[in-house]
Amino acid sequence: MSTRTTQLPRQFHNAVVKWRDTYLQDYPYLMENWEQYFPTDPRFELCAYHELGMCSEVEVGADKGKPKAVRASELAPEQAQHLLGAIRAQASTEFGSIQQHRGTLARAQDAEEQIWILRMMAEELRHGYQMLHLLMEDDWSCVSQDTSADMVEEILSMTTGSHVLGAFNIEFDSFVDSVVFCALIDRVGKYQLEMQRVSAYKPMAESMPQMLREEAFHLAAGVVPMRRWMQRAARGEVYVTVDSLQRTLNKWLPRGLEMFGDERGGGTNVRFGLKPMKNAEAQQLYYEEVAKVVHDLNVRFVRARLPKLERDEAKALLDRILAEGTTEQGISHQDLLHVPDMAFFRRRGVPAFEMVGVDGERYEDVDLYLRHLRAHLPESYLASSDFQDYVVRLRKIDSGEMTLADAVRQMPALRRVGGTCICSKAVRWVVEEELPVITAAAPEEVLPS
């Protein structure tokens, strides 16, 4: 297959560039050092990619076998409404991720890992650009009174705390957050992109392949540093401990699970041909995949601690320790990473605000549960307004002052001072300039090592 590339109309393209200059100020450094760190990869370009030659028939749902829609007006109104919501949410997450990572980028200890995250941020910008392109190249007046310009402006003016999905409204506390976020939350992104690859709306489906190729690198930017940290921790280095990684994993996995939507939902998207799986099915596959990643990290820990062991021997030793909860050759159950229960620390979905521990144990007393959370979440996160808001709502639910539905609807609620993003109204006030020529080269896929 081949790709074609397009750009947003000039004023909208320039608005995204203005946004980039505000939130991705290290972008020039990335481009100056691209060949040094990514010598075999095509240079980054800010454009929308469209994969040519993809399936033209609806692949799932009630209209399976019929021609895919190429315009929003060809979709049923409710179908188009769901699709528009997904596009806007996707755009919000891409720009929101950059705003989160920018606060901890300078804290990286390793220059290579730092520029990996920087590249990931640039590609997230392109993903957001791709979604804005879907908004701009079609007429959505059939399901929205907002113009495309209004929708783009709304997205570019969002800041941490006002994005559509909760995971993108939590600020990072350290570079460990940046890395674990890539390994866990970008993995959710991979699932969403894979599902949208079969979308009954052809422009959406055509947007996914290049995003998936780039998403593979984002996962590597998370998993590879975690592998290194686990190996160094096994050798006794003090910089990033297993306990630190475990607490950060406990912080982000619940948010990742919630990104799939309520476990009881997703059937409408399947029926409309927008996705091939319901929420619970995709969420379960994601959880199992995270468990495999954690198992691999533990194997690397064991081999770094006991370098004479072959991989199969290390896996057998690890499985015995995990199954029996014992200590063998100086490695205990507590030395390793563990995947928290799917219901742990949830605030959306079926387990929302249920007091479930990391191992699935249930609590009846709020104070006991909060002490459990304190023992298993990053200390810096416990001091955040995000955690405080969770605690306040949990207590109100327990006392009967607030309904579960109200608590779910209000989370998270990051408090802001000082007004909105300076890019608000950017579409209308940005200075128009000549735009660079975009070539149609298709980047190669970047796979995790």
Q: What is the pLDDT of residues 277-300, one digit of tens each?
A: 999 999 999 999 999 999 999 999
pLDDT at residue 439, rounded to an integer: 30
The average pLDDT across 384-410 equals 93
Confidence band for 449, pLDDT divided at 50, 70 and 90: very low
Terminus-to-terminus CA distance in the chain, angstroms? 25
Confidence band for 169, pLDDT divided at 50, 70 and 90: confident
The residues spanned by each domain of the chain are 3-68+75-163+173-299, 354-414
The HSE-up count of residue 407 (CA atoms within 13 Å, CB side) is: 25
Q: Per the CATH hierarchy, to which homologous superfamily does domain 3-68+75-163+173-299 belong? A: Ribonucleotide Reductase, subunit A (1.10.620.20)
pLDDT at residue 165, rounded to an integer: 65
Average pLDDT, the chain: 89
Cα(311)–Cα(300) distance, integer angstroms: 9
Omega cis (within 30) before 307: no
> Is residue 162 pLDDT above 60, yes or no?
yes
Q: What is the pLDDT of residues 194-225, one digit of tens each?
A: 999 999 999 999 999 999 999 999 999 999 99
The average pLDDT across 312-317 equals 96
The HSE-up count of residue 153 (CA atoms within 13 Å, CB side) is: 13
Residues 6+ apart with CB under 8 A from 72: 80, 83, 84, 138, 139, 140, 142, 143, 201
Q: At what angle do helices 242-258 and 279-305 cross, to 10 degrees?
A: 170
| Location of structure tokens 């190729």 | 213
The average pLDDT across 93-117 equals 92
Cα(278)–Cα(295) distance, integer angstroms: 26
pTM over 0.75: yes
Cα(116)–Cα(89) distance, integer angstroms: 25
pLDDT at residue 410, rounded to an integer: 78
Q: What are φ and ψ of residue 55, in 5° steps?
A: -55, 135
Q: CA quadruple 307, 308, 310, 316: dihedral positive or negative?
A: negative
The average pLDDT across 366-382 equals 97
| Higher-confidence position of 213 and 445 | 213
> Is residue 84 pLDDT above 80, yes or no?
yes
